[in-house]
Every structure is written in C-alpha cells, then in structure tokens.
Amino acid sequence: MADRASWPDTGLVEAGLQLLDELSTNSKDEDQVLLVTDLHAGNVLRAQRKPWLVIDPKPFVGDRAYDATQHLFNCESRLLVDPLGTIGEFSGLLDVSAERVLRWMFARSSAEPRDEWNAESLELARTLERLV
C-alpha cells in the first residue's frame, strides 16, 4: 500500500487487491496443485525423456487457473484485441475455468507490484476489469 501515490487508478488497484485476496482464499481443494508460476514459452524446451521440459519453476501450491496467467501476460497484444477469446482458448487447452483465469488476469494486471505502469498495462487492466 506504500506505493499508493504511484497508482494510476486507485479504484482499479483496490479492486484488483480485493480480488487477489478473494481468489487466494476461496479456491477449491481439488484446484490446489503444484504451480510453476513462471510458465511461458521461453521456459518450455524440447527434451529427450519426454517431449517437453519445463524449466525455471518457482513452485507454489495454489489454484491451477493461476498458472495460465503468466503465459497469457506474454500475449498482451492478443489479449487487448480479443481478451475473452484468447483466455477462453488457452483455458480450454489447459482444461481450467476460463472465468477463473479471467479473474486472476484482472487481479494480477491491476494489483501486482510494479516499478511503473505503461499505457498498455493500464489498458489491459481496465479492459479486464470491464469483463470481470
């Protein structure tokens, strides 16, 4: 809360903080899994033992829908053009709730600590807020 003066939109950040708290305390036990938390294309390699190897995990136990968000943040331009389609398609591939991924995306985009806000990150947070 110390960075409140640097928030570009206090209401947006507060809504995200509230949702982060809600999401982190109300996920179902069956949705609690070991998370990678840094899942993106640069951390998935071809391997010999299995077709794919995920590297650089930052393991936590939590909501499986959370893990989809890191990869999606690397698709910011696609998210801005078609947020529901992009989230829905990726969630379907992972067999996780698109609604829950959308909620995590908004919470993270609006409330996670950052050194600075840029126009795209603010636009994405506001776009996702309207959809939640």
Q: And the tokens for 80?
A: 């801005």
Which has the higher per-residue pLDDT, 36 or 80? 80
- Write down the pLDDT at residue 2: 52
Burial class (CB in 10 A: 0-12, 13-18, 19+), 70: middle
Q: pLDDT tens digit string along 56-84?
A: 888 888 888 998 898 899 888 999 999 99
Total domains, the chain: 1
Query: 49 lies in which domain range?
Result: 4-131
The reported pLDDT for the residue numbered 33 is: 83
State residue 3's pLDDT score: 72
